[in-house]
Amino acid sequence: MKRSTLGRYLALGAATMVLVAACSSGTPGAAPSAAAPSVAPSAAGSAAEPSGSGSTSGAAVSIAFIAGQIGITFYTGVECGAKAAAKEFNVNLNWTGSHNWDINETRPLVDAAKATSPQGWVISPTDPDALVSDIKGFMEAGQPVVTIDAPMSQPVELQNIQSNHYEGGKTAAAAMLKLTGGKGSYLVLHMQPGLPDIGGRADGFRDAMKAAGAKVLEYVYPGTDQAKAADAVGAAITANPDLAGVYATHETAANGAASAIKAAGQNGKIKLVAFDSAPNQIADLKAGVYDALIAQAPFNMGYYSVKLVADAIRGTVDKATVKHDNPTGLYAITRDNADAPETQPWVYPADLNACPTKPLG
């Protein structure tokens, strides 16, 4: 497969990931509609602005932000966006987060933040059910809540901002099929059972691969443990001589998969497609370890969630007109476009000193 051919294919395949561009719903203060996608080569529509014009006038407002997994570059990007919005819209932001995607770590952070009496919340729901009653209570108490990165099992928050995970999985499968023709077996690195976001990424890939007649092995669940992900890939290489590809659904699993493939001397032989676009992933893509990366828009999630909560606290947006679902864009990165100027904003920041200055789109 020539790299140029794969690049053209992904540019078309990314159309399946197209989400909202910034288009007006016609209702003041409403979120842009998700019904009118627009297409750019290799990219989905950028994150839609979810609220009205906002204001920095008047007294500061306080927002508690409970991130899903600090210590990874995706959430560094989220933090960049959240803090940029906090500065722009006069927000006292209490940023915190768990080190693992684990409700047992998230719960104490939510409880601690309650003691600070925030006027509003942004929460990454690390369990779709466990925080329903909390968030419903916050909303009833006049503390608007926006969730990001993953969905709730009930739409009790003001708005949810996340990627279209299932379509991202399908696009990853399209890339894998173009690389391998669907021959051999394929390993999916999930996270843990019962997660609708990561599950969507896994199921979208599996369903598209099986529809093409490919053999997909049973899911493995390394959690957010890079070493476990590496061990799972190493075991699969040993047990399946026909292993043709590995698909990693999140950054930590991707790093483990990359290390295992390199250790086995299988660079280029076993194709690796993964979610996320940390700088080290981009370097490994250029070095031939990865074959495609599905980048998300973390800055937009952080920025627009804080902006909307601030607007809701101040009453500058009509909460009744805010659309609950506000999906952000995705972008397929290959060796063909990794150095392109339009790709650079989709690479996650390595640290807070490398933050973008504005949202995508």
Q: How far apart are CA 185 and CA 165, in angstroms?
A: 22
Percent of the chain residues topping a pLDDT of 70 = 84
pLDDT at res. 289: 93
* Per-residue confidence band for 58, with pLDDT thresholds at 50, 70 and 90: low
> Residue 313's closest CA among 119, 134, 116?
119
Instruction: Judge whether residue 221 has pLDDT over 70.
Output: yes
Instruction: Judge whether residue 35 has pLDDT over 80.
Output: no
* Per-residue confidence band for 2, with pLDDT thresholds at 50, 70 and 90: very low
Instruction: Judge whether residue 15 has pLDDT over 80.
Output: no
Q: How far apart are CA 193 and CA 100, in angstroms?
A: 15
3-state secondary structure the chain: CCHHHHHHHHHHHHHHHCCECCCCCCCCCCCCCCCCECCECCECCCCCCCCCCCCCCCCCEEEEEEECCCCCHHHHHHHHHHHHHHHHCCEEEEEEECCCCCHHHHHHHHHHHHCCCCCEEEECCCCCCCCHHHHHHHHHCCCCEEEECCCCCCCCCCEEECECHHHHHHHHHHHHHHHHCCCCEEEEECCCCCCHHHHHHHHHHHHHHHHCCCEECCCECCCCCHHHHHHHHHHHHHHCCCEEEEEECCHHHHHHHHHHHHHCCCECCEEEEEECCCHHHHHHHHCCCCCEEEECCHHHHHHHHHHHHHHHHHCCCCHHHCCCECCECCEEECCCCCCCCCCHHHCCCCCHHHCCCCCCC
pTM more than 0.75: yes
Within 13 A of 288's CA, how many CA atoms are on the CB side?
Answer: 7
* Per-residue confidence band for 44, with pLDDT thresholds at 50, 70 and 90: very low
Which pLDDT tens digit goes with each residue over 315-343? 999 999 999 999 999 999 999 999 999 99
Instruction: Judge whether residue 111 has pLDDT over 60.
Output: yes
**Alpha carbon 235 to chain centroid, angstroms:** 27
Bridge-based pairing state of the strands 271-275 and 292-295: parallel
Which pLDDT tens digit goes with each residue over 172-216? 999 999 999 999 999 999 999 999 999 999 999 999 999 999 999
Q: How far apart are the first and last CA of the chain?
A: 32
Percent of the chain residues topping a pLDDT of 90 = 83
Neighbours of 353 (CB within 10 A): 7
Which pLDDT tens digit goes with each residue over 225-284? 999 999 999 999 999 999 999 999 999 999 999 999 999 999 999 999 999 999 999 999
Q: How far apart are CA 257 and CA 247, in angstroms?
A: 9
pLDDT at res. 45: 35
Q: How far apart are CA 40 and CA 144, in angstroms?
A: 33
Average pLDDT rounded to a whole number, residues 67-93: 97
pLDDT at res. 42: 34
Which pLDDT tens digit goes with each residue over 291-304? 999 999 999 999 99
* Per-residue confidence band for 29, with pLDDT thresholds at 50, 70 and 90: very low
pLDDT at res. 361: 82
Instruction: Judge whether residue 115 has pLDDT over 90.
Output: yes
Phi, psi dihedral angles at 328 (to 5 degrees): -100, 170
Q: How far apart are CA 32 and CA 185, in angstroms?
A: 41
User: 């290390």: which residue's tokens?
Assistant: 259
User: What dihedral do alpha carbons 272, 150, 165, 40 form, nearest 10°?
Assistant: -100
